[in-house]
Every structure is written in C-alpha cells, then in structure tokens.
Amino acid sequence: MKQSIPLNDKRTTNGWCMYDWANSVYSLTITTAVFPIYYEAVTKQADGSNIVSFLSFQLPNTVLYSYALSASFLVTALLIPLLSGIADYSGRKKSFLRIFAYFGALACAGMFWFTGDNVEFGILMAVLASIGYSGSLVFYDAFLPEIATEDLFDRLSAKGYSLGYIGSVILLIINLVVIQMPEVFGLPDNTLPSRIAFLTVAIWWIAFASYALNRLPSNPYGKKAQGSWLMNGYTELKKVYGEIRKLPQMQKFVLGFFFYNAGVQAVMYLASLFGAAELKMETGELIMTVLIIQLVAIAGAYGFAHLSKLRGNIYSLVCMILIWIAVCILAFFVSSSYQFFGLAFLVGLIMGGIQALSRATFSKLIPENTTNHASYFSFYDVTFNVSIVFGTLAYGLIEHLTGSMRYSALGLSVFFILGYLLVRQTKMSVREG
C-alpha cells in the first residue's frame, strides 16, 4: 500500500527520534535514579526497618517495589495487543501514542504528592506511570518501519536511544542541583526538591512528546476504519498473530529476546536499590553510578550499531549477552563503591546497544509487504513487558527468599544464558547467517 509520506524524510525521522528524548527522562529519573532512592528513603521506618504495610500486607519496601513493577508490566501486556490491533485497523497509532504518553506523564506529576505516609498512593502512581510509558512504546516503535528503509533501522534506533540518554542526563543534572542545593533556590531541605523533580519529568515528557508527535504522520497508509473498532481490531490482531506463526526466525528471536530482556530490565530498574541495600552507598554515589551508565550507553549504542553493520545484528547481540552474563556474576562478588562504578561502566556499554539493536533487529524481521506494524510490534512489546514481569518478579522473589540482592543478580544470569542459546540460532539473512 502506498504511503502518504516519503521514507527517510529527515523531518519525520528526527521527530521520531525525539520521542526517545521525551520519554527517557521517565526511565532515568523515575525508574532508575531519583524515585527509587526517594522511595527507599521515605518508606524506611524510624527504627531503621524497611518493612512497609501495603493493603494489610507486610513486605520489605524493595520487594514491594519489585512486585509493583511486575504488576504494571503485566497489565500493559494484557492491554496492548488489542489496542494495537485497533490502532492498525483504524490507522490511529499516533493517537494511541499521544494518549499513553500524556497518561504516563500525568502519573509522574501525581508522584509529587507521595510523601511516604501514603505508600498505596505512591505505588499506584508508579504503576500508572509505568503503564503509560510501556504502552506508548509499542506505538512509537511501530513507526520505525513506516518512516525509514531497512538500511537505516540500526542507525535510527541507536540515534533515538542516544538522544534519550543525553536528554535524560540533562534533566537529571538540573534536578540534582536542586536536590543537592535546595537553599540556592529558596527551597527547604526536605522531600520537596525530589518531589519537584517528578513534576519536571511530567512537563519535559509532555512538551517534547508534543514536538515529536507534530512531526510524525497521522495515518501514513490512509486507512479508513469501518464498523466496530473493537471487533475489527481483534480480527486484525488475530490475522497478524497467524502470520507470525509462519515466521520461525521471528519466533526464535523473540523467545530469546524474552529471556535476555528479563535480565536487562531487572538490572535497569533495580540497580540503584542494589547499591543502596547491599553496598550502603550514599545518594550521591548512586546518582554518580546512574550518570556513568547513561553517558557510556551513548557510545555503546553507536558502537554496537557499527559492529552490527560489520558483522550482523545477531553477532552483535550475542557479544552483548555474553557480557551481560559476566555482569551478573561479577555483581555477586562486588563489595565496594569503586567496584560498583566499574560494573556500572560495563552495564552502560551494553545497555544502550542491546536495547537499540533489539528494536532494529525485530523491525528487520517484519515482512516487507505488511502495513500492520503496530500489531507486529505488539507481539514484540508484549514479550518485552511479560519478560519484565518475570525478571523483576524473579529478582524480588529471590531477594525475599534469600534476604540478599546478590543472589537475585546471580539468578538473572540464567535468563541471559537462555537468551544467548536462542538468539545465536536465529538466522536473519544469508549475509548474517
């Protein structure tokens, strides 16, 4: 079907990359840096205990947070497939992207009112923000094969992630200055500076998402919806999933992606809590760790994209998975903040590359003659979200049973090993073997 916009249009592709710039402040400030540290601090009891009451259950605060993240990704995994079918049938990917982006941003704004005394409210806002973020990605990712030719997938995906790392670091540094020196801005030295950071994430996300949305096509294939969106959306989804059953290489890759992404996302979401709980690192040290990861990830995204150009996507992904296995094993033995910084450098090197190349690799496995990209990416993003459920749940459960996050980190290596065994068998083309 003929498109209404030309492929590789710079205005469009740059706009697409800018949504990474918009949403990555959520990934850094809310899921990795400020909110986990803030949450751990305000939910700690006066006697030093980390046990919190949630809906009459008594749980360690870090375990509750792991379980809450698992719940949010499970909800997203259940919701997204049907919505993606509707989006493909009606040609309204852009509308769904806008809805989820704004929904997630407003939930971040709601975190401003989380003070530690209202644990249920704080967890609810974290869950809703996670649903908004994860839900927006399926529609955002689905634009890639509609705005660019295959030879640009790796480069554009890497550029998007790199812009996200740069933008999120800029906002994080601004927020850190306010948090560390509140008196300069006439603010009290309490929880208010951190809570203001959650508001800035909401404003940044909405503002730059609006910029990106203005440059993305509304309905590139000119689809016209007729009849029931719900029933036809379900029919569209069923048709695509039937096609996927005939694509063994896509199935093999996505199953491998399921396992290694479970490990990647668990590390990303819970690394700060590991440093705080196991190494007793101060807030400043934890923030430094996060900044190391983000800055190195920029180079990692481009570096492994270049490696994939030379040796193929599968070769590049396998190399990164092997490094991830080493990271999990080393995390079990790390005993000082300096060792943790070194581990953070290694994580940053492979974090950006594996996320960018995973998205680009899946894009290349989608049949060229399809226009149902959101439905195909729902398959990818359902896998993405369910894998996070398993990863964070396994991490929290192992900590709950053993009393140590070290065993949780070691347990994640199993996910990477399984992912490695599956991905290395994937054949993308004659060139990549």
Check which CATH number belongs to the domain holding 190 and give it. 1.20.1250.20
Give a yes or no: residue 428 inside a domain. no
Angle at 419 between CA 126 and CA 72, to 5 degrees: 15
Q: How far is CA 54 from the centre of its chain?
A: 26
The count of C-alpha atoms lying within 13 angstroms of the C-alpha of 171, restricted to the half-sphere facing its C-beta, is: 29
* Sequence-separated (6 or more) residues with CB below 8 Å from residue 279: 334, 335, 336, 337, 340
Give a yes or no: residue 3 inside a domain. no
What local confidence, expressed as pLDDT, does residue 433 receive? 39
What local confidence, expressed as pLDDT, does residue 225 receive? 53
Give a yes or no: residue 107 inside a domain. yes
H-helix or E-strand spanning residue 60: strand 57-60
Q: Which domain holds residue 137?
A: 13-219+227-423
Give a yes or no: residue 2 inside a domain. no
What local confidence, expressed as pLDDT, does residue 218 receive? 80
Give a yes or no: residue 284 inside a domain. yes
Give a yes or no: residue 432 inside a domain. no
* Alpha helices (H) in 152-228, listed in sequence order: 153-180, 192-215
Give a yes or no: residue 6 inside a domain. no
What local confidence, expressed as pLDDT, does residue 220 receive? 64
Work out the burial of residue 84: count CB atoms within 10 Å of its CB; fewer than 13 is exposed, 13-18 middle, 19 or more buried.
buried
Question: What is the total count of domains within the chain?
Answer: 1
Distance CA 426, CA 133 (A): 29
What local confidence, expressed as pLDDT, does residue 250 receive? 87
Give the mean pLDDT per block of 10 residues along the chain (433 residues): 68 93 91 84 80 82 82 82 71 87 97 92 94 88 85 86 89 90 90 94 97 86 57 66 83 91 82 73 76 82 86 92 93 86 86 86 84 74 81 83 86 93 80 40
Distance CA 317, CA 345 (A): 18
Given a contact cutoff of 8 angstroms between Cβ atoms, the answer to whether 374 and 84 are in contact is yes
What local confidence, expressed as pLDDT, does residue 137 receive? 85
What local confidence, expressed as pLDDT, does residue 430 receive? 38
Distance CA 344, CA 300 (A): 13
What local confidence, expressed as pLDDT, does residue 408 receive? 87
Give a yes or no: residue 1 inside a domain. no
> What are residue 58's DSSP bridge partners?
53
The DSSP-derived string for 80-108 is: HHHHHHHHHHHT-HHHHHHHHHHHHHHHH
Distance CA 364, CA 375 (A): 15
C-beta neighbour count of 267 within 10 angstroms: 24
Report how far apart, in Å, the C-alpha atoms of 310 and of each of 186, 231, 356, 428 are: 54, 45, 16, 15
> What are residue 52's DSSP bridge partners?
59
Distance CA 295, CA 144 (A): 24
Given a contact cutoff of 8 angstroms between Cβ atoms, the answer to whether 270 and 395 are in contact is yes
| Among 90, 214, 155, CA closest to 363 | 155
Give the global pTM: 0.78
Q: How far is CA 33 from the centre of its chain?
A: 14
